[in-house]
A and B are shown apart, each in its own frame.
Chain A
Amino acid sequence: MAEEFPFEISPMFEGERIRKNDMYVELSGPKSIGYELVRAKPMDEVEDGKFTLIGPDLSEMEEGSRYPLAMIYKIAGELVEEDLESIVERRNHDFQNYLQGLMHLNQRYDVWVRVSKDAIDKGLTSFEPVAKAIMMLFKNELPFIEKVEAIYVTDQAEIKKEMDNVKQIYRDRDDRTRNLHDEDVDTFYGCSLCQSFAPSNVCVITPDRISLCGAINWFDGRAAAKVDPEGPQFPIPKGDVIDEESGEYTGVNDIAKSLSNGEYDRIKLHSFFESPHTSCGCFEVVGFYIPEVDGIGWVDRDFTGTAPNGLPFSTMAGQTGGGKQVVGFLGVGINYFRSPKFIQSDGGWSRVVWMPKHLKDRVMDDIPDDVADKIATEDDAADLDSLKEFLDKKEHPIVERWEDEEEELEAEETSTQTTPAAAPTMMQMPVTATGAMPMMPISGNSGGVKVILKNAKITIDKVIVSKKNE
């Protein structure tokens, strides 16, 4: 079947760069106009396989020239709905790059396409086979598309005429996505794709919680589940709400229990401390509890320094993963910072005390104004003392919590007199939902243990004497 096309189709061409000297024609892009758009239509409004071109075809274009380009696909099918448009549309980028001699960059009204001289030499004379190949790939990957029709436009005036309408469609779509929340749907999606490496991990994907890897949102899950409900992305009936604040649902708990083989039976979607979501391994950011200030810090993969607790990303990220529920650490995708339900059961943004500057800048727009300048970065706080000082000075909401806790602590202190010497427990051991919170290593002058030795025999296996830099 692939032989019908005057080009090869393979994912190996995805990385193909068409340099200026190798380019036959440039379409849309920064120096021209264009867009790509997928529209869901009723069955009778789509003529399957039909291709229409408005404007000049490739054969009429001169070498080295530039034209505008719009690509419109109308899709129809029993299961096709408007919410799937953006999912299909995004695949136009991937699939056009599968075609040898075609380079597709960006999306929506920023699309930028180049056709190589090589492709023309090999016999590509028209947009028709391009559109046909894309339609074939759409239908192969997403069999819920029963009919598809393509309209390509290379006529400047025609594209200009539609541009405002098209932009409005994108805007409406974005608004719908932004305004869709966990409470608005009755189905979440589970994703088990990463079980090939993280055998027991299951991602629960909701409108307010993108997958940990950042690659799959609720709409992706919905599309994939339509293709194959028994596939790696599957519907999770939400069930009854147990606690809306922390995001606990009977349906999610049921699936957690069955997919973890009973290892844990509760998942609170928007909780950091109690029954948090499991972590796989490719999370972009890891959150960590800082007991000294009772707040949460976040550190991402690109941050090469150490967080105020003295630890780099790699060490803290190493404490969680493998589809295990580890209290005190939470791996998330960067997009989760944009969720209105971002760890809302633990105070949301008002519990966040530290993050690297470049990460903070990236999500700045989503941090509530009243707390934005109170979250420290490596420029403000390099260690726990300076962090404490910063939070105190900026009157971070967390400071109120300290005052409450101090009283409680005082009451406990007297009883620690005979506690056996305990090295500060570190997190290596995965702690299940009901387990205790692991403590961070005590550094600086916080904490301290009193030990009394009477008639003791101490056998020292090895004494390491090393220089201290103080």
Chain B
Amino acid sequence: MSGMTKEDRIYMSDLNTGVFSIDELENVQITIGSIVGAIEQQMEEEKDVGPNSKPGIAGLRNWDFKLFDRYEPVYTPMCDQCCYCTFGPCDLSNNKKGACGINMEGHNAREFMLRVITGAAAHAGHGRHLLHHLIGIYGKDHALNVGPSNIIAPNTQTVTGIIPETLGDMEGVLDYVEEQLTQLLATVHAGQEGAAIDYESKAMHGGMIDHVGMEVSDIIQISCLDFPKADPEAPLADIGMGCIDSTKPVLLVIGHNVAAITNIIDYMEEHDLADKIELAGLCCTAIDMTRYKMEGGGTPKAKIVGSLAKELKMIRSGAPDVIVVDEQCIRGDVLEEAQKLMMPVIATNDKLMYGLPDRSDDSVDTILEDLTSGREPGAVIFDFDKVGELAPRLAQEMSVIRKEKGIKALPTEEEFKELTSRCVHCLACELACPMNLPISDAMTAAEGGNIEPFEILHDKCIACGRCEQACPKDIEVVNVIEKAAQKIIREEKGKMRAGRGQISDPEIREEGVNLVMGTTPGIVAMVGCSNYPDGTKDLYRIADEMLRRNFIVVMSGCSAMDLGMYKDEYGETLYEKYPAKFLKGNLINVGSCVSNSHITATTIKVAAIFAQRDITGNYDEIADYVLNRVGAVGVAWGAYSQKASSIGTGCNRLGIPVILGPHGSKYRRALIAKPYDTDKWNAYDARNGQTIDLPPAPEFLLITAETVEEMMPMLAKNCIRPSDNNMGRMIKLTHYIELSQKYLGVMPDDWHVFVRGETDLPLAKRVELLKILEAEHGWEIDWKRKKIISGPSKQDISAQPTNIKRLCKEA
């Protein structure tokens, strides 16, 4: 710093915001010693650029309306009434309007939007809680790090225009998310939107916002908690009730927010308790526990019990000695159930406190005394250092106390016999069961000594417990099922690859060749919860079929866990069988619920990497790119939660179609196009602005499938995109036709509409298909050259399809 004495120096701490003059600096030379992070600085300067940075709730309405013009909302009302205000309840059936003037479509669209923003708020609330927590420990300047990526937060950057670098930058992102959620929630009030279509657009907005909230949540924990960073070699974690060693004290955690749990893990490591206590988790907290401190590999520090469907089963098994809960997807009766079996419950998050006293300011010893003595059934503790110490100590003490007291959980053999013979086969349980499982027949079989039907039910039962309340004979049906399935449960020992976080840029570049050459026919993202129609084996079947066909299969959340529960004939789970890079035929687990944002982020990165699109504040252009070019389909086969609806809707706005399992219709609406309505299947050619024809693909944005068999060909077909080159189209058509023949036993009736020329035809069937085109569709074939002369609809392979006029040259 030449020319400046010590006294002249301005210290940063003296600076204040506001305007001040610096005329005393005349003739002062400023030497810039070095500039660190010039790229980031440049990006900083580009903040808030792009045509759509931080869109308000109407900001992307035009894009939504374009989508709805083709993908029309179809409603499946769950009930005919609206009970929102005291003018009601209003009967909306038969085109009646409610007292406020709203009609059935409007109300159902509103209901759907409410589901979406509820889900989005759950993720964003989780993110905000975690952000406060992590800033408290690591400070606002802590740098974000997600692995080798040029774009740290693709969803965030695309939606908000903000290019975050530090924890502190995420505050501004969440400010935006929260403002949008407030505005959206306001529209649920009586007398707001009058048109269903605008609630639909708002639902899309909520879905998009959700992916930003999720992204913030996961990126901050990846950056601070040493999670794997885009690591294809992320370790395998043990999963399944059979893995849990209940001879040790068992500490069970349930929920989605790993904040407090990291303190437990740290305490256990510091006090050499890791081998002495069995730390097990349910739901996404379990996934994130296995990511904690796994950067660079290692052995996961906890075991996974499974998804929400295992929650009641795990508690009823009597194995846990202490239960720690945080937030989301935790049963409302955990405390009640735990109390019956003398398991103290520690609540660590203000979103879920079960009426327990707040003991945050009390000493660990005092709380320990109150809980071990049974004076209190549990405690709310927001001080995570205390939770970290209390939970392991409590588990050790309770393990001894509960053994001494002879706490018994599942029925004995005699009680089991008594319970099954008590059944009067009134079928009330089957009516109450969301899956309508054949409980009555299983009772009969068990009475006769055959427990196999119950063993089968165990995998399909989501353990909601509605059967028990319906039973006029007070049979604890869940306990009966679990007792019968003990042998199977002992064998429930699977593997799940710990969540790897984002897909890195180098991986996307490497995979680019396969995507272009068609050797990767598409990307199937299997997300959502465990409300499967036919048990976890469904997931295995879907994933294995698609992986064999070289699709990239991406997992997250509950689906990621359930997939690890099933093994092949060699005793291997699919995680052990298939490698985990972002490459054809690879199986990836991105992580917990909030990691779903990395799936949408990957499609955004494809646009940034291969087409060099500026993603910053440029949502509709990127969504247009994804819709027309990126062959990705989401499957939420067991979607049950509001979060699943917001995740799916966020995919939809970005141009990614989603298939729901049979329970999906309970979300009240779908987005379905009409393949036969040729007016809807066109776009502009970005080269010249001319209108061009498109194939009817994808043919929906949100739809429900009834069976795995029905869904399989839908997956391949809806990976077809207008911009496919002939190699890509050929391979997609091959799998569409093969899957239809394999699972439905028929040639699909619409394969020919995707054929633009003979090079699009599946190689092994080319001659056969040319014959069909000639005979059944009247196409002209030059048989010597095996060329199609006329017939196919006019789709120019070299056209650059876009649905946004401003993206066209000479438009």
Chain A interface residues toward B at CB < 8 A: 1-2, 9-12, 14-16, 98, 133, 136-137, 140-141, 143, 192-199, 213-215, 227-228, 231-232, 261, 280-284, 301-302, 304, 311-315, 317-318, 320-324, 423-426, 428, 430, 441-445, 448-460, 463-468
Measured CA separation A304–B800 after assembly (Å): 35
Q: Could you tell me if B763 and A140 are in contact, using CB atoms closer than 8 angstroms?
A: yes
Q: Which of A12, A14, A314 contacts B735 (CB 8 A)?
A: A12
Q: Decide if the interface of chain A is mainly helix, strand, loop or mixed.
A: loop
Q: Could you tell me if B764 and A137 are in contact, using CB atoms closer than 8 angstroms?
A: yes
Chain B interface residues toward A at CB < 8 A: 12, 15, 17, 19, 21-23, 25-39, 41-43, 45-46, 141, 148-151, 504-506, 508-513, 515-517, 519, 548-550, 585, 606, 608-613, 629-630, 686-687, 721, 723-728, 731, 734-735, 738, 759, 763-768, 785-787, 797-798, 800, 809
Q: Known contacts A193-B516, A281-B609; can you find 11 more A-B pairs with CB under 8 A?
A: A1-B768, A195-B800, A196-B629, A196-B721, A280-B610, A304-B148, A322-B612, A323-B612, A428-B42, A453-B22, A466-B141
Q: Which of A133, A137, A261, A312 contacts B148 (CB 8 A)?
A: A312
Measured CA separation A453–B27 after assembly (Å): 7
Q: Could you tell me if A199 and B517 are in contact, using CB atoms closer than 8 angstroms?
A: no
Q: Could you tell me if B550 and A198 are in contact, using CB atoms closer than 8 angstroms?
A: no
Q: Could you tell me if A457 and B728 are in contact, using CB atoms closer than 8 angstroms?
A: no
Q: Could you tell me if A9 and B764 are in contact, using CB atoms closer than 8 angstroms?
A: yes
Q: Which of A231, A430, A443, A467 contacts B726 (CB 8 A)?
A: A231
Residues on B with C-beta less than 8 A from A192 are 725, 798
Q: Could you tell me if B509 and A199 are in contact, using CB atoms closer than 8 angstroms?
A: no
Residues on B with C-beta less than 8 A from A430 are 612
Give the shortest distance, in Å, between A50 (CB) and chain B (any CB). 19
Q: Which of B19, B150, B505, B629 contacts A197 (CB 8 A)?
A: B629
Q: Could you tell me if A14 and B517 are in contact, using CB atoms closer than 8 angstroms?
A: no
Q: Could you tell me if B734 and A11 are in contact, using CB atoms closer than 8 angstroms?
A: yes
Residues on B with C-beta less than 8 A from A456 are 22, 25
Residues on A with C-beta less than 8 A from B26 are 453-455
Measured CA separation A136–B629 after assembly (Å): 32
Q: Could you tell me if A199 and B726 are in contact, using CB atoms closer than 8 angstroms?
A: no
Q: Could you tell me if B12 and A463 are in contact, using CB atoms closer than 8 angstroms?
A: yes
Measured CA separation A363–B612 after assembly (Å): 29
Q: Could you tell me if A459 and B19 are in contact, using CB atoms closer than 8 angstroms?
A: yes
Residue of A nearest to B506 (CB): A301
Q: Which of B517, B630, B686 contacts A215 (CB 8 A)?
A: B517
Measured CA separation A459–B809 after assembly (Å): 40
Residues on A with C-beta less than 8 A from B151 are 318
Measured CA separation A385–B39 after assembly (Å): 21
Q: List 29 A-B contacts (CB under 8 A).
A: A10-B738, A11-B763, A12-B738, A14-B550, A98-B764, A192-B725, A193-B516, A193-B725, A194-B725, A196-B724, A196-B728, A197-B516, A197-B611, A215-B517, A261-B809, A281-B611, A281-B612, A284-B510, A313-B148, A314-B504, A315-B39, A321-B611, A323-B612, A423-B41, A423-B45, A443-B34, A451-B29, A453-B28, A463-B12
Please list the 5 inter-chain residue pairs (A to B) with the smallest Cβ-Cβ separation, ordered nearest first: A322-B612, A282-B512, A318-B150, A441-B38, A281-B610
Residues on A with C-beta less than 8 A from B27 are 452, 454
Q: Could you tell me if A140 and B766 are in contact, using CB atoms closer than 8 angstroms?
A: yes
Residues on B with C-beta less than 8 A from A442 are 34-35, 38
Measured CA separation A426–B28 after assembly (Å): 27
Q: Could you tell me if B727 and A193 are in contact, using CB atoms closer than 8 angstroms?
A: yes
Residues on B with C-beta less than 8 A from A314 are 148-150, 504-506
Q: Could you tell me if A443 and B764 are in contact, using CB atoms closer than 8 angstroms?
A: no
Measured CA separation A137–B762 after assembly (Å): 10
Residues on A with C-beta less than 8 A from B39 are 311, 315, 426, 428, 441
Measured CA separation A9–B766 after assembly (Å): 12
Residue of B nearest to A463 (CB): B15
Measured CA separation A428–B609 after assembly (Å): 12
Q: Could you tell me if B516 and A213 are in contact, using CB atoms closer than 8 angstroms?
A: yes
Measured CA separation A136–B786 after assembly (Å): 13
